[in-house]
Amino acid sequence: MRRVVITGLGAISPQGNDRESTWAGVCAGKSGAGPITQFEASTWPVKFACEVRDFKLSDDALLPQHHKYLNRPSEFGLAAAHEAMMDSGLCVKASGANGPIEKSIACDPELFGISIGAGIGAVSPKELASMLRSLAADGNYAELGRVVQEQTESRIFLRNHPGTLAYLLSARWNAQGPVTTVHTACASSGQSIGQAMLQIQRGEADVILAGGADSLAGELLLAGFCLLGALSRRNDDPKKASRPFDRDRDGFVASEGAAMLVLESRDRAVARGAKIYAEICGFGETESAFRITDLPPDGRGTVEAMQQAIAMAGLTPAEVGYVNAHGTSTEVNDRVECHAVQRVFGEERTDLCVSSTKSTTGHLISAAGALELMFCVLALRDQKVPPTINLENPISGCLFDFVPHHEKAFSREKPLRAALSNSIGFGGSNSAVLVKSHEDSQAEVGP
Amino acid sequence: MKMRRVAITGIGISTAVGDDLLTNISSWREGRTHFGAVAAASGLLGTAVKYAGECPEPPASRLPDRKVKKILTRKDVIGLVTALEAASDAGIRPGTQNFDPERFGMYVGAGSTQIKDLTPYFPLVRQCVQGGVFDSLKFGSEMMDLVNPMVVLQTLMNNTLCFAAIALDIRGVNSNFMDFNVSGLRAVGEAFRSVQTGRADLCLAGGVASPVEPFHVGTGVNSGYLARSAELSWSAAEILRPYDRERCGTVLSEGAAFLMLEDEGHAVSRGARILGYIDGYGAGSDGPVEFMHEESAPGLSGSVKRACREAGVDVEGKLFAPDLIIGHGNGVMRSDSVELNAYLSTIAPGTPLASIKAVTGELGEAAGVASCIAAVDALLQNSVPPTINFSGNFAADDPHAFSISPLAQACPSTRQALITQRSILGISCSLVISKS
């Protein structure tokens, strides 16, 4: 079985439009929440979200003919992927006669894959309205297909399909190996990355660009989660709204963004002298088989996913120093997840750091697992873990360290060696991904 | 790592032809299509599409809990019923299994965006459009009273997976893929890997699609992917013409297809019937090619090579020689052409090739799984299913290297079948199935 390492990272988030600004914001405990700016929301039950701001997609991130297929999450995904690819050194800028040009490091296209966790996608109400207004006002939609057919913009289906981003990435980076899109709600990108790791382990690919992209800040999806009652309604103080593991939590905060990781066979990365952030070595995926939105009280499914990841990595729970929890700030998730973490790591693990970065980023849904795994990787690099902000009255009965308010640094004597990212999805899918420090004197660790 | 042999122990399929295996198999063998005029409820009145394959409404009695109909869309009801059918065919029924649920997995291909899933929003969206401008303030103030609060749960792409897992107590490996019409075959491939490598003892795997709706049809017509059946003189049964010179686009169908994959030892120990084996799987992508303008399909060639190599398919010269291919063949001019050319560089000349899509229609995410079921039957019958509407004439750019027939082709002995599927954006999966 081949070992797999992470050689590139990229992110777009409400904290910043690249990896390092995102990481700095999260570690500083900065809330990404604020009033919704993408549309006028003053009459909405929820008037705030964690939005990506001041974002502009670089032309370098996609093929020029593909602008017609873009939607908001795809733009985030392409930008994060571009950063990750440049960071990996698989693609570098070089000087050319007419300005900078890209040079790719030799990589067999047939052994280069894409694995993306993507959201459910939704047309914008403006697109929907333009179709509906052409129809009779009697609520008869029998001719809706005719209206779509007659619209001059014929790419509406592909632009809104969750699977299109993987195609755009495969086209941009000439990936001709396994290319796939996963949707298991909030577990999507944890699964997409875990499955990519398995594919490289089995030799089906040498390199896979893996991650997730999503946006819950658009009107129809945000409306859907408002209707479901899953979102915090702390409209008077949005920055205090995402409060995982706090007694006064009242729902999650909608967010958006993307995170991409370059996964590579360790032998290949070492041979080309790549910078290696960490080794990805554990993955668990389970189904809770309970209810569509609820979790079983005993944490079934979540427990087994974490146990599988730890076992696959050949570690014991005691060797894992940090869990980036799913921690959505909803009543049921946080209670059950705490119980599950206790079952896996033991009730007496007071030294185990368990933080939820959703307190600062909000919930990126299908992209959450990728972003949070990136935080685990950077925690190993910088030997510090990000905080859980707004944690004023922690859930009772948990002795582990929720890292409240401020980041926590690890000591040279007792370093952080392994970290686990936990994701729990609507529909019952769970994923857990484990990374550990890459110890190889021949390879540089971290940038 | 010790690789385990992966058996197929159960099958479920629902299409416009019927919601049981025997009806579907007999239609493939006999080349009978069941396309009909599109139902008014599908929202396609006035489009260039006149015919499609639409499933009968599954009776509520086939659901494990009738209340789930409140949450599930039509697509997911079809998916759930079909997944349970495959489990039942494998001898596994809710509450009866005596194996570890954590060793029982499920992979599904499901997830095309459907505008009809957004119908709970339609009345309010219409009210909120003034002079072409969307009034989000009005929408925000009225949505809590006027929109079904379950709408976001109804549109979750992983609902078939979720509800089948609950019904059958599936707690092991799982995923839901959204790779357009390759999704279902990918689900089977990934389930194969999970059983083969010991991550699961058995996995339910398949796909479900309900593309007969405005989004798919509008884009499909505009791009030239769909046959403009309302403007053609052909009958419904003649329109979809895989590999034929006069092919003019595909016909959409809804349906679902699922397989139960199982470690051979596990299957034998519980006395399960073995219908066939999966021997190899490969995936690939075309990379930088343009939708509907592709000139080759390197992703398909790559996936075929990987699947055949793993399966130990016979080699003639430098080309693989499976006993038959159930191909992607969707009747789209360019798609069929690049598919045939991809085989030219990978498959031995003369290999029998068939597409069942002229009978089933383009089943989207379920298509590749339906082809797997056709392959299992072909291997058992030593007969390649007919590619109806193939006149014997290839288009100018098509290689003539493979044996395609509008009639069933008898084979003296069949051992391994290759199944291929390619998405509209150039993503491909291939699988090799062998006889039990």
Which CATH number do you get for residue B69? Answer: 3.40.47.10
B95 and B234 both lie in a single domain:
yes
What tokens appear for B28 in the block? 């493939």
- A427 shares contact with chain B (CB less than 8 Å): yes
Q: Confirm whether the ipTM is greater than 0.90.
A: yes
What tokens appear for A209 in the block? 């660009």
User: Given this model, what pLDDT does residue A24 score?
Assistant: 98
Instruction: Give the count of domains, chain B.
Output: 2
Which residue of A149, A226, A228 is in closest CB contact with B221? A149
Query: Does the active-site annotation cover A186?
Result: yes
Q: What is the mean pLDDT of residues B9-15?
A: 97
Residue located via tokens 């991409």:
A260
How far is the CA of A372 from the CAs of A113, A321, A427, B349, B370, in angstroms? 21, 15, 20, 51, 38
Chain centroid to CA A150: how far?
A: 37
Handedness of CA A271, A274, A277, A280 (dihedral sign): negative
Whether the per-residue pLDDT at B145 is higher than 80: the answer is: yes
User: Given this model, what pLDDT does residue B2 score?
Assistant: 85
Asked whether the beta carbons of residue A125 and residue B218 sit closer than 8 angstroms, the reply is: no
Which of A2, A133, A180, A202 has the most B C-beta neighbours within 10 Å, making it the best mutation to test the interface with B?
A180
Q: What is the pLDDT of residues B170-214, one digit of tens each?
A: 999 999 999 999 999 999 999 999 999 999 999 999 999 999 998
Q: What is the pLDDT of residues B289-339, one digit of tens each?
A: 888 888 999 999 999 999 999 999 999 999 999 999 999 999 999 999 999
Domains parsed from chain A with CATH numbers: 4-121+161-436 (3.40.47.10), 125-157 (no CATH)
B175 and B282 both lie in a single domain:
yes
User: Given this model, what pLDDT does residue A442 score?
Assistant: 42
Residue B262 included in any domain: yes
Question: Do residues B205 and B122 make contact, with C-beta atoms less than 8 angstroms apart?
Answer: no
Identify the weakest region by mean pLDDT among A83-92, A252-261, B51-60, B241-250.
B51-60
Among the listed residues A186, A338, A353, A398, the single catalytic one is A186
B256 and B131 both lie in a single domain:
no
Q: Count chain A–chain B contacts defined by CB atoms under 8 A.
A: 312
Residue B28 included in any domain: yes
Contacts of A413 (CB under 8 A, 6+ apart): none
Residue B1 included in any domain: no
Q: B-chain residues within 8 Å CB-CB of A290?
A: 166
Whether the per-residue pLDDT at B71 is higher than 90: the answer is: no
H-helix segments, B312-408 = 333-344, 357-360, 367-381
Which residue of A128, A175, A228 is in closest CB contact with B125? A128
B200 and B56 both lie in a single domain:
yes
Q: What span, in angstroms and rounded, lies between the C-alpha atoms of B116 and A162?
A: 16
Asked whether the beta carbons of residue B218 and residue A44 sit closer than 8 angstroms, the reply is: no
Among the listed residues A326, A338, A339, A376, the single catalytic one is A326
Q: What span, in angstroms and rounded, lies between the C-alpha atoms of A38 and B425?
A: 30
Q: What span, in angstroms and rounded, lies between the C-alpha atoms of B346 and B399?
A: 13
User: Given this model, what pLDDT does residue B62 score?
Assistant: 87
Residue B357 included in any domain: yes
Among the listed residues A82, A183, A339, A363, the single catalytic one is A363
B14 and B141 both lie in a single domain:
no
User: Given this model, what pLDDT does residue B1 score?
Assistant: 77
B130 and B168 both lie in a single domain:
no
- A35 shares contact with chain B (CB less than 8 Å): no
Which of A48, A111, A157, A181 has the most B C-beta neighbours within 10 Å, making it the best mutation to test the interface with B?
A157
Angle in degrees, CA B28, B29, B30, rounded to 5: 90
Question: Do residues B126 and A132 make contact, with C-beta atoms less than 8 angstroms apart?
Answer: yes
Q: Can you list the positions of beta strands (E) in B216-364? A: 255-263, 276-285, 315-316, 319-320, 324-326, 353-354
Q: What is the mean pLDDT of residues B67-81?
A: 90
- B179 shares contact with chain A (CB less than 8 Å): yes
- B173 shares contact with chain A (CB less than 8 Å): yes
Identify the weakest region by mean pLDDT among A405-419, B124-138, B364-378.
B124-138
What tokens appear for A428 in the block? 């019952």
User: Given this model, what pLDDT does residue A184 score?
Assistant: 97
Asked whether the beta carbons of residue A428 and residue B166 sit closer than 8 angstroms, the reply is: yes
Helix (H) or strand (E) holding A210: strand A207-215
Percent of chain B with pLDDT over 70: 100
Q: What span, in angstroms and rounded, lies between the C-alpha atoms of A159 and A153?
A: 10
Which among B244, B210, B232 is positioned nearest to B361, based on CA atoms? Answer: B210
B302 and B411 both lie in a single domain:
yes
B144 and B205 both lie in a single domain:
no
Residue B402 included in any domain: yes
User: Given this model, what pLDDT does residue B193 score?
Assistant: 98
- Residue A347 has a CB neighbour count (10 Å cut-off) of 13
Per-residue pLDDT of chain A (447 residues; tens, 9 = 90+): 899 999 999 999 999 999 999 999 999 999 999 999 999 999 999 999 999 999 999 999 999 999 999 999 999 999 999 999 999 999 988 888 887 788 787 789 999 999 999 998 778 887 887 777 777 666 678 888 888 888 756 578 888 899 999 999 999 999 999 999 999 999 999 999 999 999 999 999 999 999 999 999 889 999 999 999 999 999 999 999 999 999 999 999 999 999 999 999 999 999 999 999 999 999 999 999 999 988 999 999 999 999 999 999 999 999 999 999 999 999 999 999 999 999 999 998 999 999 999 999 999 999 999 999 999 999 999 999 999 999 999 999 889 999 999 999 999 999 999 999 999 999 999 999 999 999 743 444 433
Query: Does the active-site annotation cover A226?
Result: no
Percent of chain B with pLDDT over 90: 80
Q: A-chain residues within 8 Å CB-CB of B218?
A: 145, 147-149, 151, 154, 156-157
Residue B33 included in any domain: yes
Residue B318 included in any domain: yes
User: Given this model, what pLDDT does residue A445 score?
Assistant: 42
pLDDT confidence tier of residue B126, bands split at 50, 70 and 90: confident
Whether the per-residue pLDDT at B127 is higher than 90: the answer is: no
Residue B368 included in any domain: yes
In which domain, by residue range, is B131 found?
120-148
State how far residue B200 is from chain A, nearest Cα, in angstroms: 11
Binding-face residues of B in 148-167 toward A, CB within 8 A: 148-153, 155-159, 161-163, 165-166
B87 and B137 both lie in a single domain:
no
B140 and B240 both lie in a single domain:
no
- B237 shares contact with chain A (CB less than 8 Å): no
Q: What span, in angstroms and rounded, lies between the C-alpha atoms of A39 and A183?
A: 27
Say how many CA atoms lie within 13 Å of A338 toward its Cβ: 22
State how far residue B392 is from chain A, nearest Cα, in angstroms: 33
Which amino acid is present at A202?
R
Query: Does the active-site annotation cover A82?
Result: no
Contacts of A422 (CB under 8 A, 6+ apart): A190, A302, A305, A306, A323, A324, A325, A326, A337, A341, A430, A431, A432
B50 and B192 both lie in a single domain:
yes
B142 and B281 both lie in a single domain:
no
What tokens appear for B200 in the block? 């699961």
Asked whether the beta carbons of residue B285 and residue A179 sit closer than 8 angstroms, the reply is: yes
User: Given this model, what pLDDT does residue A136 score?
Assistant: 62
